[in-house]
Amino acid sequence: MSRFEIIGKAPIRGEISVQGAKNAVLPILAATIMTEEVCVIDNCPYLRDVDKTILVLRGLGSKVMRTDHTITVSDNGYCDCEICETLMRQMRSSIIFLGAILTRCKKAVLSMPGGCPIGQRPIDLHLKALKKLGVKIKEEHGFIYCYADKITGADIHLDFPSVGATENIMLASVMAQGTTTISNAAREPEIKDLANFLNSMGAKITGAGESQIRIEGVCELHGTRYRVMPDRIVAGTYLIAAAITGGDITITDAEPDNMNAICDTLIQMGANLDIGDNKIHIMSADRLKAVEIIRTMPYPGFPTDIQSPFMSLLSVANGTSILVENIFENRFRHVDELVRMGADIKVSGRTAIIKGVDELYGATVRARELRGGAALVLAGLCANGKTIVDNTEYIDRGYERIEECLSKCGAHIKRVN
Ligand code: UD1
């Protein structure tokens, strides 16, 4: 167990290179089990969720080696079809292995992932789509048993553009007999990254990143080398760190094209952004303005994952803002902690009304999930006095050494074990 101790008010100044994207690397690592050849994945961040994914891969029989930010996955000649229940419970996104295991083994046994701190997170859309591909599914005693003589391409419409369901369909249908189409597919950039990775293995996927994806089944996939895309949510978090402290930083190795909703909102609040091909420079000397309303939406809308970091910024903006969380029903768990630090936030259902205060003050607060935890670190950076953020393990699920990145840019933050 560790915590962050932060002395607020130091402006964040300097340069931060963005880590690889957590939400891209997890499905890409899962996809490596679909070939017996070697896959080399570059730009893999050091994160708890990546460590857990490596454990899942090893549990399934893969050989996994890590050298710095490169992970090499090779096959031992077999692949187990079952993920142990403990790992499923520790990382809900292990569900992304379902499609890949089915492609490799034609059967899969997983325990039900269940709820998580940000909401119920059902998998009905995943299972409904897999059934359309010819997979037989039995749910019993908290386990999902899947089995398919053969996987056959199908036309699948998603009632909601779920990221995980879109990825699982791609993984399950990449070597199916015939062609699969997904309509109302999720358009998140991480979907495109997974498709690019699969295509580099020999898959035939077109349309990823748009709402209509077409997957022509191929007979086999081969090994490849691939570089994971940059993390747009981490990049956004560091931009907010500069904005909330009146600082001035350049984010490098980013993909600004994937960050329009984040950059537009910062500009609307009064921050100065200079956006290049793969970098963003932010300067924010004055107190920023409130925004009338932010609604989280599937991509290219405002990302739910950056909602809580923005709430910290809105807490000290000039005026009143409204934030509506449309994706997950329980994603305001950081609000009570921000209120402990002096924020003026009222929540009713999925809506939060944030009246900007002149100043937050340091307090002892507790991270309860990943992005809410990052929001508390941001609040600590601008607060008057000392903030202690407990439960850093949540933050470590998605941010690689956040305290080092921030202290290198002038923040007074240290990890205490
Ligand atoms: C992924 C991201 C997560 C991000 C989210 C939305 C990963 C590892 N995680 O999560 O960081 O916040 O996308 O951008 O990539 N739903 C159903 N039934 C289903 C599947 C989803 O009702 O079968 C609902 C969920 O409860 C939620 C909404 O759809 O309300 C969005 O979920 P989804 O897009 O699937 O998110 P994840 O893939 O779990």
| Distance from the alpha carbon of residue 169 to the mean position of ligand 1, in angstroms | 14
CB of 327 shorter than 6 A to ligand 1 = yes
Domain 22-227 in this protein, CATH class: alpha beta
DSSP letter (8 states) at residue 368: -
Tens place of pLDDT per residue across the chain (417 aa) = 899 999 999 999 999 999 999 999 999 999 999 999 999 999 999 999 999 999 999 999 999 999 999 999 998 788 889 998 888 888 888 899 999 999 999 999 998 875 566 666 789 999 999 999 999 999 988 899 999 999 999 999 999 999 999 999 999 999 999 999 999 999 999 999 999 999 999 999 999 999 999 999 999 999 999 999 999 999 999 999 999 999 999 999 999 999 999 999 999 999 999 999 999 999 987 899 999 999 999 999 999 999 999 999 999 999 999 999 999 988 999 999 999 999 999 999 999 999 999 999 999 999 999 999 999 999 999 999 999 999 999 999 999 999 999 999 999 999 999
| Confidence (pLDDT) at 119 | 63
- Kindly give the distance from the C-alpha atom of residue 162 to the centroid of ligand 1, in angstroms, as a whole number: 5
The C-alpha angle 161, 167, 169, rounded to 5 degrees, equals 90
Q: Is the CB of 241 under 6 A from ligand 1?
A: no
- Predicted local distance difference test score (pLDDT) of residue 90: 82
Given the residues 81, 84, 105, 116, the one annotated as active site: 116
Q: State residue 286's pLDDT score.
A: 83
Q: Which atom of ligand 1 is nearest to the CA of 167?
A: 38
* pLDDT value of position 88: 85
Packing angle between helix 97-105 and helix 124-132, nearest 10 degrees?
Answer: 30
Can you give the pLDDT at residue 415? 97
DSSP 283-345: E--SPPBP-SEEEB-STTSB-GGGHHHHHHHHHTSBSEEEEE--S-TT--TTHHHHHHTT-EE
Structure tokens at 141: 């005693």
The domain defined by 3-17+287-416 folds into UDP-n-acetylglucosamine1-carboxyvinyl-transferase; Chain (3.65.10)
Q: How far is the CA of 164 from the centre of ligand 1 (A)?
A: 6
Strands 179-183 and 155-157: parallel
Q: How many CB atoms lie within 10 A of CB 89?
A: 14
Nearest ligand 1 atom to alpha carbon 163: 34
C-alpha span between 181 and 166 (Å, rounded) = 10
Q: Greatest CA span in the chain, whole angstroms? A: 64
- Residue 195 structure tokens: 């498709």
Per-residue pLDDT at 120: 66
Q: Is 101 in the pocket of ligand 1 (CB under 6 A)?
A: no
Pairing of strands 293-295, 386-390: unpaired
Establish whether 84 is a catalytic residue. Answer: no
* Ligand 1 centre distance from Cα of residue 185 (Å): 12
Query: What are the residue ranges of CATH 3.65.10.10 in the chain?
Result: 3-17+287-416, 22-227
- To the question of pTM greater than 0.85 for the whole model, the response is yes
